[in-house]
Amino acid sequence: MKFEFSEDQKLFQEAFSAVLSDKCDATVVRKVWETQNRAEGLWEALAELGALGIQAPEEMGGLGFSEIELILLMEEAGRYAMPEPFLEHASVAVPTLAACLENESPESKNLESKNSVFREYLEKAISGELVITTVYSPSSYVVYGEWADMFLLINEKDSNTKELHLVSKDDVKLHPQKSLETPRKPMRVEWKPSADSLLAGGKDFERAMARGVVATSGMCLGLAQHLLDATIEYVSEREQFGKPVGSQQAVKHHLADVAIAIEHARPSVYMAAWHLSSLEPSLTSSLEAKTLDIAIVSSAKVLASKAADLAAKKSLQCQGAIGYTVENDTNFWMKKALVTASSWGSSSFHLEQIAKTL
Amino acid sequence: MDLSFSKKEIEFQQEVREWLKANIPKKRLPSLDSREGFEEHRQWERELHKAGWSVPNWPAEFGGRDCSIFEWLLFEEEYWASGAPGRVNTNGISLLAPTLFAFGTTEQKERFLPKMASGEEIWAQAWSEPNAGSDLASLNTKGVLDGEYFILNGQKTWCSRGAFADWLFCIVRSDPESERHHGLTYLLVPADTEGMERREVGRLDGQPAFAEIFFTDAKVHISNLLGEIGQGWSVAMSTTSSERGLNLRAPGRFMAAVGNLVKLQKELGDTKYLSKIAELWADSHAYRWICYSAASKLLAGQELGSDTSMMKVFWSDLDLKIAGLALEMLGERAEFMEGSPDAYDDGSWMDAYLFALAGPIYAGTNEIQRNIIAERVLGLPRK
């Protein structure tokens, strides 16, 4: 057992982080939230780095990396509060599309005509020409609806059978909502499934959902870490009663609790990412495929959500009234943390998933 | 990154499981903090030792089997899952032994480690004093060298298992003029030392093994000095960021306790606690993976530093939550103590709860740990 990331993995994380620091600093985040226009050049830069195809096989034009490399990027995406559908696109849609193309099992193998259409979508998704976002439950909303070209949508045939479909925005009717996290723009979707749009069913459906849950957990860690770092900086400078407020034990203990929650969530999130990476690309293509352990996936999300939620609340409390204003940049991270922590299944949902395995 | 267990580790796990299944006592032993329970637990240490399981991660020459940290973590998981008895020599094995390995002379290692491994000598930590609890550096028991002997005068207290232990590991002030962390010395003190008296103090659960220790011109031979004179503080603290940081409470304990909660839930048939149990399952695994991650760091040559403070707060809170939930589930039967006809599992959850209540206090209170985290990990201003 070895928890350390390789030098190459860390270097790729740094390269990703460098793009964000260049194209997505706090000024950019503020601008995106206020104008609701996309961050200039960010998506293109991510495509150029190969990050959009991080989880597509090399022969399909991707980087051929796994959830292990991805999880490091998700933490960075959280640290920068990246206002782009990177999670939905790169961690769910692209690998699920690639797995669908790799599926060779006789009963669910695709027709070549469908594969050639999907192959083109995948190419365009990797190059960034096409933005794909997704829902996480049959009744939930697609996010970043305005910026997306295609959606992954769930068709619930009955309570035990769910499928994922890839549908163009021209074939759906959208009902935009206003989110606390303004750039997210959730939308209710009206649509009809067809055989041509079917992307993944059975175990591959579960796998696709687990990808989203684990990536969200990584993002929660990054959001929590930024909130903690920003708050430490603030309370070390801000003085009351003639000394930094961060020297008061009450404040110290709040922030120690946040650090404890983050550090205890992180190894479980890495474990979940590693678990996904140890599975076959398509779980329906082989009978011997290892099964998905939902308790590992759900506990990562429960722990990371708790850390993000705690970080948001303690960050607000420790920054006092200044933290309560929209003039303070951390308000974006705080709001994104609250939204992200409850996305891809609430904690009660995931606790129920764990309970089923006990 | 590779988070799989090796074939060797899985075989090791299987071996431990089978041995425990065949050998754990059929009956629950009396509390290891009672006089009779103490001796019965010592007997169990002997059994473990005979089969080579009392200190599996120690070198074979001292009674271990040279297993890796990962194997030790797996051993603990199997140990606690099997329902085997508590370990009466934990403080010796997890708090003193790492220091002995790091600072002991060859003679000291040969003299003390094998008898610790076999349970022949059971150790108690005598660090706290009436006026030196969380603020350990204010300790004031004198231990001044005079010829070949340190002459000890003063009082130690809240000494777990101190009433029955065979040996104590102490920190004393060897330079009476010194202050705080300076002038302290780490000594190994036989419990039958002339001039040393012990008084049993009933713990919250009524068990008597807690002790106050009084030294009146007690003579301790210089061969029992661990490390150098005046270096007691750094000797005591130096191994806390190494493996010892992991040793005190292995994750297997809490995973097994959550397993017992699941068992309790199934027996009571009440589904309304499932979500809370699931949360504790996730927490016990959070602690499991942070321990494996810490072990991985140690193997990669890194130190754990103050990370162990975070882990201490986490496991001690977790332990309380687990036992607290069991009591909530037991409802009006929760208060029934050992020996009550209607007590669930002879009142074991109340015992577990009372024991867990001490967790946030011993080994550095959780408030002190949070200060350490805030100042040393997060870099918040001290003043």
| Element (DSSP H or E) covering residue B22 | helix B7-23
| Separation CA A168–CA A148 (nearest Å) | 9
What's the distance, CA A307 to chain centroid? 16
ipTM of predicted assembly, 2 dp: 0.96
Place of tokens 């079917």: A198
Burial classification of residue A47, based on how many CB atoms lie within 10 Å of its CB (0-12 exposed, 13-18 middle, 19 or more buried)? middle
Q: What is the pLDDT of residue A139?
A: 81
Contact status, residue A86 vs residue A75, Cβ threshold 8 Å? no
Q: Which parts of chain B sit beneath pLDDT 50?
A: none
pLDDT tens track for A96-133: 999 988 876 655 566 788 889 999 999 999 999 999 99
Which residue from A minimizes the CA distance to B376?
Answer: A256
Contacts for A97-100 with beta carbons within 8 Å, 24 or more apart?
A97/A56, A97/A121, A97/A122, A97/A125, A97/A132, A97/A166, A97/A199, A98/A55, A98/A56, A98/A57, A98/A60, A98/A62, A98/A122, A98/A281, A99/A200, A99/A204, A99/A207, A99/A208, A99/A281, A99/A282, A100/A199, A100/A200, A100/A204, A100/A282
C-alpha A17/C-alpha A11 separation (Å) is 10
Q: What is the pLDDT of residues B16-63, one digit of tens each?
A: 999 999 999 999 999 999 999 999 999 999 999 999 999 999 999 999
Q: In angstroms, rounded to a whole number, what is the distance separating the alpha carbons of residues B98 and B94?
A: 7
pLDDT digits (tens, 9 = 90+) for A338-352: 999 999 999 999 999
Q: How far apart are CA A317 and CA A311, in angstroms?
A: 10
Range 277-336 of A in CB contact (< 8 A) with B: 278, 295-296, 298-299, 302-303
The yes-or-no answer on residue B61 being catalytic is: no
Q: What is the pLDDT of residue B218?
A: 98
Rounded Cα distance between B356 and B359, Å, is 5
Count of Cβ atoms closer than 10 Å to residue A64 Cβ: 16
Query: A residues 14-73 near B, CB within 8 Å?
Result: 68
If one counts every other C-beta atom within 10 angstroms of the C-beta of residue B193, the result is 18
Which tens digits make up the pLDDT trace of A277-335?
999 766 665 556 678 999 999 999 999 999 999 999 999 999 999 999 999 999 999 99
Q: Indicate whether A182 pLDDT > 70.
A: yes
A6 contacts B293? CB cut-off 8 A: no
DSSP summary character for residue A346 = -
Instruction: Give the residue on A whose Cα is nearest the Cα of B273.
Output: A355
Q: Chain B residue closest to A9 (CA)?
A: B1
CA distance A197 to chain B (A): 36
What are the pLDDT digits (tens) for B111-148? 999 999 999 999 999 999 999 998 999 999 999 999 99
Average pLDDT over residues A156-162: 89
Q: B135 exposed, middle or buried (CB, 10 Å; 0-12, 13-18, 19+)?
A: exposed
Round to the nearest angstrom and report the end-to-end CA distance of chain B: 40
What is the value of pTM for the model shown?
A: 0.96
| Range list of H helices, chain A | 7-23, 26-35, 42-49, 67-79, 86, 94-102, 112-127, 202-237, 249-277, 294-323, 330-342, 347-357
- Please give the mean pLDDT across all residues of chain A: 94
Residue partners of B127: CB distance under 8 A and separation at least 6: B136, B139, B156, B170, B171, B236
* pLDDT of residue A160 exceeding 90: no
A278 to chain B: which residues are within 8 Å by CB? 4
Percent of chain A residues topping a pLDDT of 70: 96
Chain B: give the shortest CA distance to residue A271, in Å.
7
Tell how strand B149-159 and strand B210-221 pair up: antiparallel
Neighbours of B180 (CB within 10 A): 12
Percentage, residues of chain B above pLDDT 90: 93
Chains A, B: CB contacts within 8 A come to 150
Is residue A151 within 8 angstroms of chain B, CB to CB? Answer: no
Q: Are B230 and B295 in contact (CB under 8 A)?
A: no
Residues 54-83 of B with CB under 8 A from A: 70
Tokens of A54: 């991080």
| Cross-chain Cβ contact A351/B313 below 8 Å | no
Instruction: Provide the token pair at A284.
Output: 């329906």
Give the distance from residue B371's alpha carbon to the nearest chain A alpha carbon, in angstroms.
7
Handedness of CA B304, B307, B312, B314 (dihedral sign): negative
**Average pLDDT for A218-235:** 98
User: Which of A221, A252, A266 to mutate against chain B (most B CBs within 10 Å)?
Assistant: A252
CA dist A263 and B286 (Å) reads 9
The pLDDT value given to residue A137: 84
Residues 6+ apart with CB under 8 A from A141: A135, A177, A186, A187, A188, A189
